[in-house]
Amino acid sequence: MACSCSAPEPKSPAPGFRRALWIALWVNLAMFFVEGLASLSSGSVSLMADAIDFFGDSANYILSLTVLSMGMLWRGRAAMVKGITMTVFGLVIWARAVWVVQAGITPEPLTMGAVGLLALAANVSVVALLFRFREGDSDMRSVWLCSRNDAVSNIAVMVAALGVFGTGSAWPDLIVAAIMGTLAITAGISVVRHARSDIAEAKASKAQPGAASSSSR
């Protein structure tokens, strides 16, 4: 997905963003444990992918909270790390899906559907909370993309559960897992591009006389 917004003018976090991050952090940590246990009991790759994604988002929120009061340069660097992490996550999911194909494992659809619905409710609440920050700097945008992708992934997991239930095959689960991995890769690339723009802007601002101190290293 291409990044459609330009580097932001504001150099300080939007009001309420820190509080929103803390709420999102705890919701994601809770769902990581719930989905992680459910993925082990059901054998679902897409559910495991969603659980790992929850954990990755939690780590990203912690990173965002750490650099929130810092300048644009450090926030851009944090977004760069998150973008790379999202891309790696997608590649790992693809590798896991290939492994399951070779192992011939068929997941349990009822657990997939029930936990996917719970995860969707959790993520919709986080998406609604973060919606107004989606056009901020690269760090805010990466947080928004992570949450948006999670909500889409939850719907996909439930679709996969229906597919597994109807066909008795693991392929619906594997296809959804592959889509989730691809979505993570494209979103990660988008965040990296936006982060590079923010970093370049911050460095250019620092090089100019009278540059704002908030963009300092």
pLDDT digits (tens, 9 = 90+) for 103-117: 888 888 999 999 999
Residue 216 lies in a domain: no
Residue 185 lies in a domain: yes
Range of the domain at 33: 17-204
Contact present, 181 and 99 (Cβ < 8 Å): no
What pLDDT shows up at residue 140?
Answer: 65
**pTM across the whole model:** 0.66
Q: For residue 161, how many other CB atoms are within 10 A of its CB?
A: 28
pLDDT digits (tens, 9 = 90+) for 185-202: 887 888 888 788 878 887
What pLDDT shows up at residue 6?
Answer: 30
Indicate the helix (H) or strand (E) that contains 29: helix 17-42
The alpha-carbon radius of gyration of the chain (Å, integer) is 18
- DSSP-derived letter for residue 214 is G
Classify 178 as helix, strand or coil. Answer: helix
Total domains present in the chain: 1
What pLDDT shows up at residue 8?
Answer: 35
Local mean pLDDT, 10-residue blocks, the chain (217 residues)? 33 67 89 90 86 79 71 75 83 85 86 92 85 64 69 86 92 89 84 82 72 46
Residue 173 lies in a domain: yes
